A and B are shown apart, each in its own frame.
Chain A
Amino acid sequence: MVGTFVGFTTYLGLSAVGIDNAFVQLVGVLVVAVGAMALLGAVIARYLVLPLKSAPPLNILLITLMLGTVLRESVRLFYPDGSNPKPFPYLLPTDSWAFGSFTLRADSIILFIGGLLVIIGVNVLINKTKMGLAIRAVAQDEETAKCMGINYTFTVLLTFALGSGVAAFAGVMNGLYYNEINFSMGLLLGVIGFSAAIIGGLGNIYGAILGGFLFAALQTVGAVALPFSSAYKDVFAFGGVIALMVWRPTGLIAEKSSERV
């Protein structure tokens, strides 16, 4: 959400500088938004999450939720006229092709490919690079990872930067697609993202993808198939989330873990 707003501000700045080429603007917006959010994520991790790593997980969850509130309220209160929705500029080509009754918009394809590239990129980063190995090692066992010479602090900061950067990318894509941004859009999206990651199973990128698609599918089924009203689609989707948690309490793709007593 903040990422989208930073992107928006960047766009305003670039327009003010006088760059009119949509492609340059798009790249500028993406680079600044993703970079700024990655930095913000690392700062948050350094000063709020790392000092608390021995605290119960609930405290950390609550801190991040509260931090979301802080960011959201800051945008509402301190961004000029932040409490009203803002139009996000059209930076993608607006062509569309019609196949019979089905219309394909060029921006949908670009966004789809963009999203796919990010997913593949993150997957390669986590599973194929040395850095990804460090991240997975830290996630599995902090102390052993340290013994193996992994810089713990740096890895955690990097992970947070990566996550926030990818979220900022998603935010900009969301703004590009709906052409409107709003200070409160982050909350529901954040909760949906969190739920999707959880029902997929933490610690697994495929789980997050699966969860994301499943949630969207639940919403769509709720909108199409419910006999009474499509307004209940979110009710249906969150009901589905709760039901899925009963069926697979540790997510669809369960984390490989054993409990030490």
Chain B
Amino acid sequence: MDTSKDMLIGLVAIVLGSIFTITFIAIESETGIIGLIALSGAAVVLASRTGISERISNAFSSNESMMNSAVLVAVLVIIFWFREDHFSLLMIATVMLYLTACLGLNIQLGYTGVVNFSGAAFFGIGCYTAAVLNQNTGLSPLIVLVIGGIMAALIGSILILPMLRTRGHYAAVVTIAFAILFKTFLEVNDTLGGAQGLKVPGMEILGWDFNSNIEIGDEIELSFYLNYVAIALVLSVLAFILMRRVERSWIGLNLDAVRLDETVAACFGISIKRWKVTAFTMGNFLIGMSGAVFAMMLGFIAPSNFAFSDSLMLLSIVLLGGMGSPWGTVVAAGLVILLPEKLQVIQEYRFLLFAVVVILILVFKPQGLLPRGLRAYIPGWRG
């Protein structure tokens, strides 16, 4: 198998994938959607039977920068396609923000094995920070964004001590308790809007109002969500790069060692505490940042957005995609956010279906949809 042929197959796959995504977002009829899902399922099965999926993954591992830029171009094409459609852009931005949050969760859970059942709470901290800062101060939204992340990381540091001392079920209960504590606190706290929630003013950078449509000349008018899609795209790409860089570096090696066996890692002189804290803080920072953008985009937040079930949903995305696999997270975030939006029939049964799907995945394919491959010490190396 020569690499150039693999790469060609990979590029064709990306083109087909983006055409599929565009049709999937654009199509309205329910039968059409179900047909598309059936088609994609058949395509995936066919690709794995004929060995094409293996060649695609080869293409990704041997020509990484090339393939990554191709995917980025594909995403830009998809965004450009829907430049005037508010709802589609909102969905795309939501997928990207959830993707960023789940990448953060992936650093915690997938690399270091730190259990975090309060992802939605940290997401909420970002949201509320953005709301309060935008209402009361004139700080630039970009700074607000970073502060949202810092706040999530800071408040998360309250949990560092209990998290370091506990393990297994005992560690899980710490974050579960925090998730419920956070939501109850928001519901009864009047200064933060109580159960009714808060209005969040939109972004405005250097006089450029993010909440009005972009007009170029007289004819072209673009949806204002394009602004947020751009921010979300930058954020998720940065998070993706960060995650990849962390994984490849000696930091990632240490994190993996901590996850796989704490005792052995400690024997080799790896500070378990330091790496757990690093991963936890880094993950919360990413989750908080995506929360801040999310709040500014939606313009309204309420405690019911950050319930325990939402934390479970974030975790399900990570597990569905495969722990520690960034591409898996991309696919899973897309599926989990887009599918219920497109299939209004299942909207009502959404949580039921999620729960069933996650159970089935855990039982039959515990490594996820796109499992993380073996660590490649030399780029393009195939053992």
Contacts and interface: CB of A to CB of B under 8 A. Distances in A.
Contacts of B46: none
B263 interface: yes
A204 to B, nearest CB: 14
Contacts of A202: 169
Contact of A235 (B169, B185, B366): B185
Contact of A198 (B170, B308, B309, B363): B170
B172 interface: yes
Nearest to B181: A238
Interface in B164-205: 165-170, 172-174, 176-178, 180-181, 184-185, 188
Interface in A217-240: 229, 231-232, 234-235, 238-239
B359 A48 contact: yes
Nearest to B267: A261
Given A55-B362, A62-B315, A235-B181, A195 B173 contact: yes
Interface residues of A, number: 43
A28 B184 CA distance: 37
A242 B159 contact: yes
B181 A77 contact: no
Contacts of B168: 57
What is the interface of chain A mostly: helix, strand, loop, or mixed?
helix
B352 A73 contact: yes
A57 B263 CA distance: 18
Contact of B188 (A61, A198, A235, A250): A235
Nearest to B188: A231
A249 to B, nearest CB: 4
Given A69-B355, A246-B162, 19 more contacts: A57-B169, A63-B363, A66-B316, A73-B349, A73-B352, A191-B308, A195-B173, A195-B177, A198-B170, A199-B173, A232-B188, A234-B180, A238-B178, A238-B181, A241-B173, A241-B174, A245-B173, A249-B167, A251-B170
30 contacts: A48-B359, A52-B363, A55-B366, A59-B366, A63-B359, A63-B363, A66-B316, A66-B356, A66-B359, A69-B312, A69-B352, A70-B352, A70-B359, A77-B348, A188-B180, A191-B180, A194-B173, A195-B177, A232-B184, A234-B181, A235-B184, A238-B180, A238-B181, A242-B177, A245-B162, A245-B170, A246-B161, A246-B162, A249-B166, A259-B263
